[in-house]
A = this chain, B = another copy of it.
Amino acid sequence: MSETGDLHATVEMLAGKVRALEDQVEIMQLVARYGPAVDSGSGEAAAALWTEDGAFDAVPHLKMRGRDDIIAMVTGDGHQSLLGGGCGHVLTVPHIVVNGDEATGRSYALQVRWDADADRFWVFRASANTWRWVRTPQGWRIAERVNAPLDGTEGHREMLAPPAVSPLPEEE
């Protein structure tokens, strides 16, 4: 009896740890899908990474709100011309802080472009990224992403500052 009780407690504790690991890995994988989606021109696949009404601020040019705005960006002339010229959106694994059904993160994105004349690639942009993710019935989705160039602007580098108060450790 009591042995089974102990086992129950251990299994419950393990289930909590597994859930926390799944959150981390699923969010890492969500972020890993962004670059391939936009660099292959797959607007719908990119938009599907966000919630229906998700936000994406590409500072300072674009404020996208909802999936249609993201599709419009990917299929738009600006982005299509980037793809034709040769381009990669290279994102890093974020620092991810999960708090129940929400999570926040901070990471980097490089936009690297091909220069056929110079016969080399060049770094168009290195940017700070902040993320807010939410757990949906279909899995984690992006609720808000802000992408801002690390060009010395104080507000952009402050996006990367660690959360003022760390959330409590997972309490299950």
- Which A residues fall within an 8 A CB radius of B? 3-4, 7-8, 10-11, 14-15, 17-18, 21-22, 24-25, 28-29, 32-33, 35-37, 39-42, 45, 83-88, 90-96, 106-108, 110, 112, 114, 116, 120-128, 149-153, 157-162
Which B residues lie within 8 Å of A18 (CB)?
Answer: 14, 17-18, 21
Asked whether B11 lies within 8 Å of A90 as measured between CB atoms, the reply is no
Known A39-B160, A93-B93, A152-B84: A7·B10 in contact at CB below 8 Å: no
**Copies, count:** 3
Could you name 24 residue pairs across A and B whose Cβ atoms are closer than 8 Å?
A3-B4, A4-B7, A7-B7, A7-B11, A10-B11, A14-B15, A14-B18, A35-B108, A36-B128, A39-B157, A40-B159, A42-B161, A85-B152, A86-B149, A86-B150, A88-B108, A88-B126, A88-B127, A90-B110, A93-B93, A114-B151, A114-B152, A120-B123, A121-B124
Query: For the complex, what is the distance from the CA of A159 to the CA of B124, rounded to whole Å?
Result: 22
A58 to chain B, nearest CB (A): 16
**Is the Cβ of A42 less than 8 Å from the Cβ of B162?**
yes
Please give the distance in Å from A123's CB to the nearest CB on chain B: 4
Chain B residue numbers with a CB within 8 Å of A36 are 95, 106-107, 128, 160-162
Pick the residue among B88, B120, B152 that contacts A86 (CB under 8 A).
Answer: B152
Chain B neighbourhood of A157, CB < 8 A: 39-41, 83
- Bound: A108/B52 CA distance, A: 28
- Contact B150 A32, beta carbon cutoff 8 Å: no
Apart from A3-B4, A39-B157, A90-B110, 15 more pairs, CB < 8 Å:
A10-B11, A10-B15, A21-B22, A28-B28, A32-B94, A32-B107, A33-B162, A35-B160, A36-B95, A39-B128, A40-B161, A85-B152, A88-B126, A91-B92, A120-B122
